[in-house]
């Protein structure tokens, strides 16, 4: 059987980054910059007031105090957005709002709280040093400066900075587009009545949620019966829109394995079916359909989601340049004794207590116990050469929080 590490390398090589593209600011959020971004203007663009108050010449209010105030005529009113800015003459003041351009000649701003707030003649009760409460042009960003760098995730702050610089789009690594197909004649859409022998389809919904959680986009989530023609028709309809195809089910050793039947059970039609030395998730497949990468996962829900975590999620995030492609690995003390099948790397659901530094296995190890996975917060990573683990042993876990 193929080792987990070998299969991870195969999947890593299969999923490649999309070419860089420019996209609008709203669409760029949470993506990774493909190139450096330089400031096209300075920030602030012009000298402006940091306070609501009065623009003055500092020399005109030297010595002003509450006991000995200075009175100046208010010659102009300068709200934010005014474009015709008159010069401040000596011995006068301009009432000014936060963000409004500083008038030529003014050397300081007195906050309105230090005045009587009048609009004809203002009484000023404190002096101001030159430059007080003035935001200078370029003190945040000088035009031409690199402000965002390739490889950086576009955060709300980065979007705000780009907009403040007058940019309406950014160069990014686009999201991967993923087609998720669930197979099985027994599957029925949630909300429909069940007939004997039928079950509700959950894998495509679950895997699509995992794809979006990893930062990628979902093209579609069709479910198909164990019919090769129907499966092929879905691929024909959606595959060209996708950068990656994920299937679940139809890859085991029994009859009616539609994915194997569609691609040839010997892997002679572009998909290589293998067994990976892991539990759950042993039957796997990788290849290409008309040039589009495809990864075939087993149909049991825990097997499918564990396989996604182990193989697909890190490769997807790496292809999009996203940080923390791998779940955090931690060490924790096991609270109970466990057994594991020798020769297979076991991934068991667990509950990690970070305060105590302990971990407890959560639910049976079988691949159909999805209930326990829904309330687990980690995976216990048990090496293939381990058969028994004593309580109190230190164990590696994958933190899913």
CATH number, domain containing residue 268: 3.40.980.10
Instruction: Count other C-beta atoms under 10 Å from residue 265's C-beta.
Output: 14
Residues 186 and 229 placed together within one structural domain of the fold: yes
Q: Quote the distance between the C-alpha of residue 88 and its chain's center.
A: 50
Q: Quote the distance between the C-alpha of residue 199 and its chain's center.
A: 33
Structure tokens at 148: 């965002």
For residue 316, give the DSSP letter: H
Q: Is 88:137 a contact under the CB 8 Å cutoff?
A: no
Q: What is the pLDDT of residue 250?
A: 86
**How many structural domains compose the chain?**
4
Residues 106 and 130 placed together within one structural domain of the fold: yes
Cα torsion 12, 13, 19, 22 to 10°: value is 10
Calpha distance 233→256 (Å, rounded): 17
Strands 223-224 and 177-183: parallel
The structure's pTM equals 0.88
Q: Is 175:216 a contact under the CB 8 Å cutoff?
A: yes
Calpha distance 239→229 (Å, rounded): 15
Helix residue spans in 292-331 (DSSP H): 301-307, 313-319
Pick from 135, 136, 149, 134: which is nearest to 39 by CA? 149
Q: What is the pLDDT of residue 45?
A: 97
Structural domain for 25, as ranges: 21-43+139-173
Helix residue spans in 109-202 (DSSP H): 156-164
Angle at CA of residue 175, ends 169 and 180, nearest 5°? 150
**Cα–Cα distances in Å, from 151 out to 144, 213, 215?**
19, 20, 15
Residues 13 and 121 placed together within one structural domain of the fold: no
Residues 261 and 356 placed together within one structural domain of the fold: no
Final residue before a domain boundary, out of 260, 294, 320: 320
Calpha distance 47→129 (Å, rounded): 16
Q: What is the pLDDT of residue 267?
A: 57
Residues 159 and 88 placed together within one structural domain of the fold: no
Structure tokens at 24: 């609008």
Angle at CA of residue 153, ends 150 and 154, nearest 5°? 100
Beta bridge partners of 49: 134
Instruction: Count other C-beta atoms under 10 Å from residue 208's C-beta.
Output: 21
Q: What is the pLDDT of residue 116?
A: 97
Identify the CATH number of the domain in which residue 144 sits: 3.90.105.10
Residues 314 and 180 placed together within one structural domain of the fold: yes
Pick from 125, 128, 107, 127: which is nearest to 116 by CA? 125
The SS3 call for residue 263 is: helix
Calpha distance 64→288 (Å, rounded): 80
CA pseudo-torsion sign 363, 332, 375, 317: negative
Residues 227 and 304 placed together within one structural domain of the fold: yes
At CB < 8 A and 24+ separation, what contacts does 351-357 make?
351/375, 351/376, 351/377, 351/378, 352/377, 352/378, 352/397, 352/399, 352/401, 357/331, 357/332, 357/333
- Exposed (0-12), middle (13-18) or buried (19+): which is 348, by Cβ within 10 Å? buried
| pLDDT in single tens digits along all 401 residues of the chain | 999 999 999 999 999 999 999 999 999 999 999 999 999 999 999 999 999 999 999 999 999 999 999 999 999 999 999 999 999 999 999 999 999 999 999 999 999 999 999 999 999 999 999 999 999 999 999 999 999 999 999 999 999 999 999 999 999 999 999 999 999 999 999 999 999 999 999 999 999 999 999 999 999 999 999 999 999 999 999 999 999 999 999 887 777 789 999 998 665 568 999 999 999 999 999 999 999 999 999 999 999 999 999 999 999 999 999 999 999 999 999 999 999 999 999 999 999 999 999 999 999 888 888 999 999 999 999 999 999 999 999 999 999 99
Residue with tokens 């709280």: 113
Calpha distance 336→200 (Å, rounded): 34
Q: What is the pLDDT of residue 265?
A: 61
Q: Is 273:283 a contact under the CB 8 Å cutoff?
A: yes
Residues 182 and 169 placed together within one structural domain of the fold: no
Calpha distance 41→309 (Å, rounded): 44
Residues 30 and 159 placed together within one structural domain of the fold: yes
Final residue before a domain boundary, out of 273, 297, 320: 320
Residues 186 and 312 placed together within one structural domain of the fold: yes
Q: What is the pLDDT of residue 270?
A: 82
Final residue before a domain boundary, out of 320, 342, 359: 320
Q: What is the pLDDT of residue 138?
A: 97
Residues 155 and 189 placed together within one structural domain of the fold: no
Beta bridge partners of 330: 397
Q: What is the pLDDT of residue 365?
A: 87
Q: What is the pLDDT of residue 183?
A: 95
Q: Quote the distance between the C-alpha of residue 258 and its chain's center.
A: 34
Residues 221 and 258 placed together within one structural domain of the fold: yes
């Amino acid at each position: 059987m193929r080792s987990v590490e070998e299969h991870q390398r195969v999947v890593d090589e299969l999923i490649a980054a999309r070419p860089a593209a420019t996209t609008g600011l709203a669409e760029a959020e949470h993506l990774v910059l493909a190139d450096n971004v330089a400031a096209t203007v300075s920030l602030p663009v012009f000298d402006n007031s940091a306070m609501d108050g009065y623009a003055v010449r500092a020399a005109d209010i030297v010595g002003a105090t509450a006991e000995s105030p200075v009175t100046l005529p208010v010659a102009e009113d300068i709200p934010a957005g005014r474009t015709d800015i008159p010069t401040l003459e000596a011995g006068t003041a301009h009432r000014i709002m936060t963000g409004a351009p500083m008038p030529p000649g003014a050397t300081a701003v007195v906050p309105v709280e230090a005045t009587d707030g009048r609009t004809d003649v203002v009484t000023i009760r404190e002096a101001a040093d030159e430059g007080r409460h003035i935001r200078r042009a370029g003190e945040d960003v000088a035009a031409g400066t690199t402000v965002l760098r390739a490889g950086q995730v576009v955060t709300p702050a980065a979007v705000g900075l780009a907009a403040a610089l007058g940019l309406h789009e950014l160069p990014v690594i686009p999201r991967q587009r993923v087609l998720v197909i669930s197979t099985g004649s027994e599957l029925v859409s949630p909300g429909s009545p069940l007939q004997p022998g039928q079950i509700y389809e959950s894998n495509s919904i679950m895997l699509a949620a995992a794809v979006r959680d990893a930062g990628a986009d979902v093209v579609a989530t069709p479910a198909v019966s164990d019919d090769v023609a129907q499966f092929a028709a879905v691929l024909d309809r959606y595959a060209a829109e996708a950068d990656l195809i994920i299937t679940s089910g139809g890859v085991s050793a029994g009859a009616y394995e539609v994915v194997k039947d569609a691609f040839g059970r010997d892997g002679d039609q572009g998909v290589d079916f293998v067994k990976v030395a892991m539990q759950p998730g042993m039957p796997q497949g990788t290849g290409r359909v008309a040039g589009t990468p495809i990864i075939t996962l087993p149909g049991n829900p825990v097997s499918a989601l564990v396989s996604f975590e182990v193989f697909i999620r890190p490769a997807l995030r790496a292809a999009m340049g996203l940080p923390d492609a791998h779940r955090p690995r931690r060490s924790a003390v096991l609270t109970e004794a466990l057994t594991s099948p020798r020769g297979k790397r076991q991934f068991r659901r667990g509950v990690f207590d970070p305060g105590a530094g302990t971990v407890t296995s959560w639910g049976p190890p079988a691949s159909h116990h999805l209930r326990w996975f829904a309330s687990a917060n980690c995976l216990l990573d048990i090496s293939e050469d381990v058969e028994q683990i004593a309580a109190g042993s230190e164990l590696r876990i994958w933190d899913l929080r």
